[in-house]
Structure 1
Amino acid sequence: MANPPPLEQARRWWKERTDAERYVVSPAEAPSLAVARVLRQDGLVLDVASKRAWILTPGKVADGRAVFLANYWAVVALVLKRYAPAAVAGVAAIRLHLEDFSPPEELPVYQGANQSEYALTLYPGFRLRLRPRPLAAENVVTVTAPGNALIPVQTPMDILTTLDETEVVSGIEPVSAWLRHLILRTPELEAAVEKNPRPVILKRLSALAAELGNEPLARQLEHLVRRISHRETSPSRTGVGTRIAVPQVLRAASRGSGSPWLDEQAMRLERQESEVSRVVGRELAALPKFKWQSIRADAQQNKAYDAYHSTTMEGYRISREVSDGIVRGEPLPDGPQDQKTLEAAMAVQGYTVAYSEVLERARKQGPINTDLILDLYEALFRPAVDARITDPAALRGWRVSTVGLRGWRYVPPNPKKIPDLIRGLERFAARENLDPITRALLVHLEFVTIHPFMDGNGRLGRLLMNYALLVAGLPWVTIRSDERIPFFRAIERAQVDGDAKPFIQFVWHLIRQAVQELKAAQRRRS
């Protein structure tokens, strides 16, 4: 019996794998070169990892980067099987142990398959850095990444005995959060150190652990250093306290008071606060504080403009004319309305309700806390619930499942961390010594970083930022939908690369602009 034509084979092969939810496969699985050619020609596969992996797609894709990012860890898992034994190494391994799954542009990997270092491009802008090193099975564990991808990673013991000073300095925040809570069994640690005795870096890590409050680990490492070294090393000789500096915020907190993710949040906010200070500088003191009647009138006048831009920024399709009418309380135009149109209309209406709630709450000068966040979230989706577009059960509390952001590198935290992180944000926002610009900018940035809901986080983050500005006597700021890409890229840069400066500069420019416009309006009226 003759084989089916290649097109029929290709479609059958593709369907079998997608039905089994296997979206990343090896090209070697194709039954023939002819079938592989058809799969590529029809856009049913996306070549990645220098043609070492395929991502199955329903047809030719317009945004290959978004498809790649959604399947990043599955691609890594498949490629690393080819180089086994292999394991994600160093600070990248620490990030995975801390459940930080945002795809890095370069992922360092130890591999024992060959003796040469090799850079493998996974997709333009993303690569694996494969470095030769013998890897024993006991030095590798598996971490489950998004998409249930099983990623081989160095064990904590192996990381500790192979880290170098450059890695520690450049990755001080994840290293500190990890070391501060690390617990290791002494016999296993002794065995690992005997195989790879490195007294200088171990001494530095011991001093770092002590400064972080992890005295048990510090004593373990100090004891091992004395065993493997014939000389005493001191912090001054090794650079601890000079080159490897513990973030100040962790020095003031007891080790048992938090978790790795709270420590990461505290360090992140401390660093970003310093970045705001560097960008804003002395201009902060020159900011005026407007009377409530003035900023309220300005915000009311701005409502329709802001509702249109903040809603369409999130992908809703609606005309400015229709959006403005909804804000004024007018019904939708006559005629049949499809689901997308209704969703967009309810989004604008919900944003209008939440906008009014922000004005009312800001007048009372209340704190930024869980009650405010949940009340604004409910207001944002109230019209969609009333229209039976949104299930009210979905609005009860924080999200309970993982979420991905299509087309972006950042992966929000596991839902189990959200209550702690929101409390951390509350504590930060409540600080009396926090200036109003830092509070507004970082409440926004940290809220969208926590990403506590399945939907509405961007709109709610901007509402919280403006709430903080109004309470401080500053005008409402609108981020236009045509600025969406640079604005979101600035947020991603802060979330993934640890550089909040572009975000701070972006929003600070808009704040100054809003202040100048309100001043000019007041002069015209006087």
Structure 2
Amino acid sequence: MATPHEKLADSLQVLKALQDQHIAVFQTSVLPTLTRVHQERLVRAGFLKQVIRGWYLPNNPEDGDGDSTHWYSNMEAFVAAYATSRFGNEWQLSAELSLLKHSGHTSISKQLQLQSPKANNQLQELPHGCSLFLYRVSPDMLVPGRAPSESGLLLMPLPEALIRSSPTFFTQHELAAQIAMRRVDISTLTARLLEGGNSVVAGRLVGALRAVGRQDDAEQLAGTMQAAGYVITESNPFQRLLTQIAGRANESPYVQRIQVMWSGMRDEVITRFADAPRRAPIPAEALLSDIAARYIADAYHSLSIEGYRVSAELIEKVRNGAWSPLTNREDRNARDAMAAKGYAETHKRVSALIGRVVSDELKPASAFRSDFFQWYVTLFSPSVTAGILKAGDLAGYRSNPVFIRNALHVPPAPEAVRDCMPALMDLLEAEEHPAVRAVLGHFIFVFIHPYMDGNGRLSRFLMNYMLTTGGYPWTIVTVQSRSAYLAALEQASTYGNIRPFAELISGLVSLQAAEPVERITQRPESGSWTAPPSVAP
């Protein structure tokens, strides 16, 4: 008779087979291998979680009930699968949500609206306060040329989405609207407006084109509509003067987004750092001595998280009775030890670069650009040597999606990372203020999240490299400030509000500049922390 461990292993084998077929969302009525017995067994063990009746997602058994990470990372894929199951291909995302996707907006929208002739104006409640409204439209409201997003949501084409969006979109989602207006093909947009006879909408879009710097295209659209007999009254739907985006209009929307964020946020950072202590240049030896004295308190854990998948090794552990929902202590200790070693080696490398920049009066951003990739390699080389990671993991930027625990912000797709990282380097090199390089360099780096792991540690190395080469002290993001730190990054990533993050970092800079070095690791009330012995260099 099979033991409970063997039965669970059998159920996991079924789950793994489905995942190997790239099935991420499970509708049990169409998956005969995922029987009720397997469902119940996997749910009890924490490997499956019900979304709504008859629909499940794979789950990490270590996640608590309140952990939203896995749901946010799979919500759009679930909605796409659910809509396709109910409506076939006769559905589309609303115009406003389609525009957000076209503009490189990556944060999770907790309320989604789908349109379909087969819908029934029903609100479907989803986990973690999310919902899906199924809005009934006439068949002629389905837009030809709908195309799936990366998660499978069927989007309206950009011109049609602009025509159908409400005027308030331009003020409520100014950056998304600006990027959309820069990217839209003027010929296709004009043809769609002529087909629908949308003179009022045309007047609004003429004004929007002019606001984003497309003067010739605005004149072309207005002239063509007037030549066709339409009366155009131009109006600018943006309520304020826009920060103009450099580069090509057809450049990656993700690149355009981070360029505008940088331009729009830098003044706030400068304001918050107005009173932060900035010392006169000191010899490299004295600076490196101060950095070394802060090393122990500076070590910190990564904030990134990977998706959870069933592996053959896990199945065997379960079958043999060796599996526990808790991480294996031995494995965890080995990982921690290699992480500590990698951190120590990377700290040495960053410190050496700071010394060269200060001694030789190099441009910090240019030196960073040349050296940065070796920071990542150095951080994880010990884990490769120990066999915890594969050598291929050191190859470069991530090739898979990545999600941040309990955050609405979802980093850009892997393909976008290849465009965003050179753009970040360009922004750093063009920036004159060291506090802006430090704060926005840190923020934009974690916004992009270029690696599967290590993003938090690398972004703080980047921040301190820019701080110390700009006259500020090496500054520790403390355990006591961790909640505020994560919340501030989420505010900046999801809502475009950099003020909390700039205030937090400038406050830590001021506090730790005034604190004697020998006391930084000794006084909890200072906002610092004492690291465990394993992080010692």
Aligned AA (1:171): H
Aligned AA (2:49): L
Alpha-carbon offset, residue 246 of structure 1: 5.4
Alpha-carbon offset, residue 360 of structure 1: 2.0
Q: 1:92 to 1:56 in 2, by over 3 A?
A: same
Structure 1 residue aligned with 2:221: 221
TM-score (norm 1): 0.78
What is the RMSD computed on CA atoms of the aligned residues? Answer: 3.7
Report the 3-state secondary structure (helix = DSSP H, G, I; strand = E; otherwise coil) of the residue aligned with 1:351: helix
Aligned AA (1:272): M
Tell me, yes or no, if structure 1 residue 105 matches structure 2 residue 96. Answer: no
Alpha-carbon offset, residue 198 of structure 1: 3.4
Distance in 2 (CA, whole Å) between partners of 1:274 and 1:139 is 43
Moved more, 355-364 or 28-37: 28-37
Tell me, yes or no, if structure 1 residue 141 matches structure 2 residue 146. Answer: yes
Distance in 2 (CA, whole Å) between partners of 1:34 and 1:345 is 42
- Aligned partners of 1:487 and 1:503 also within 8 Å: yes
Alpha-carbon offset, residue 265 of structure 1: 1.5
Tell me, yes or no, if structure 1 residue 262 matches structure 2 residue 255. Answer: yes
Moved more, 35-44 or 175-184: 35-44
Report the 3-state secondary structure (helix = DSSP H, G, I; strand = E; otherwise coil) of the residue aligned with 1:74: helix
Alpha-carbon offset, residue 17 of structure 1: 4.2
Q: Percent identity among equivalent residues?
A: 22
Q: 1:139 to 1:486 in 2, by over 3 A?
A: farther
Alpha-carbon offset, residue 484 of structure 1: 3.8
CA offsets 1:470-525 (integer angstroms, 9 cap, x no match): 11121111123454444233223322232223322222221121122149989xxx
Distance in 1 (CA, whole Å) between partners of 2:348 and 2:39 is 57
Q: 1:193 to 1:512 in 2, by over 3 A?
A: farther
Q: Choose from 258, 265, 276 the match for 1:272.
A: 265
Distance in 1 (CA, whole Å) between partners of 2:40 and 2:392 is 45
Distance in 2 (CA, whole Å) between partners of 1:382 and 1:266 is 32
Q: 1:42 to 1:72 in 2, by over 3 A?
A: same
Structure 2 residue aligned with 1:123: 127
CA offsets 1:316-352 (integer angstroms, 9 cap, x no match): xxxxxxxxxxxxxxxxxxxxx9443232212112211
Tell me, yes or no, if structure 1 residue 249 matches structure 2 residue 244. Answer: yes
Structure 1 residue aligned with 2:181: 179
Alpha-carbon offset, residue 440 of structure 1: 0.8
Moved more, 122-131 or 153-162: 122-131
Unaligned runs of 5+ in 1: 1-6, 316-336
CA offsets 1:79-98 (integer angstroms, 9 cap, x no match): 32336633212332123234
Structure 2 residue aligned with 1:300: 292
Tell me, yes or no, if structure 1 residue 431 matches structure 2 residue 430. Answer: yes
Q: 1:313 to 1:168 in 2, by over 3 A?
A: closer
Q: Choose from 83, 91, 104 the match for 1:86.
A: 91
Aligned AA (1:194): E
- Aligned partners of 2:95 and 2:164 also within 8 Å: yes
Tell me, yes or no, if structure 1 residue 207 matches structure 2 residue 197. Answer: no
Distance in 1 (CA, whole Å) between partners of 2:462 and 2:210 is 38
Q: 1:487 to 1:476 in 2, by over 3 A?
A: same
Structure 1 residue aligned with 2:26: 25
Structure 1 residue aligned with 2:163: 161
Distance in 2 (CA, whole Å) between partners of 1:507 and 1:229 is 58
Aligned AA (1:403): V
- Aligned partners of 2:243 and 2:264 also within 8 Å: no
Distance in 2 (CA, whole Å) between partners of 1:505 and 1:19 is 46
Aligned AA (1:90): A
Unaligned runs of 5+ in 2: 1-6, 306-328, 521-537
Report the 3-state secondary structure (helix = DSSP H, G, I; strand = E; otherwise coil) of the residue aligned with 1:55: strand
Report the 3-state secondary structure (helix = DSSP H, G, I; strand = E; otherwise coil) of the residue aligned with 1:364: helix
Q: 1:61 to 1:376 in 2, by over 3 A?
A: closer
Report the 3-state secondary structure (helix = DSSP H, G, I; strand = E; otherwise coil) of the residue aligned with 1:440: helix
Tell me, yes or no, if structure 1 residue 77 matches structure 2 residue 80. Answer: yes
Distance in 2 (CA, whole Å) between partners of 1:174 and 1:312 is 30
Aligned pairs, how many?
475
Q: 1:65 to 1:436 in 2, by over 3 A?
A: same
Structure 2 residue aligned with 1:3: none
Alpha-carbon offset, residue 267 of structure 1: 0.6
Aligned AA (1:260): P
- Aligned partners of 1:44 and 1:60 also within 8 Å: no
Report the 3-state secondary structure (helix = DSSP H, G, I; strand = E; otherwise coil) of the residue aligned with 1:46: strand
Distance in 1 (CA, whole Å) between partners of 2:478 and 2:181 is 42
Aligned AA (1:124): H
Structure 2 residue aligned with 1:329: none
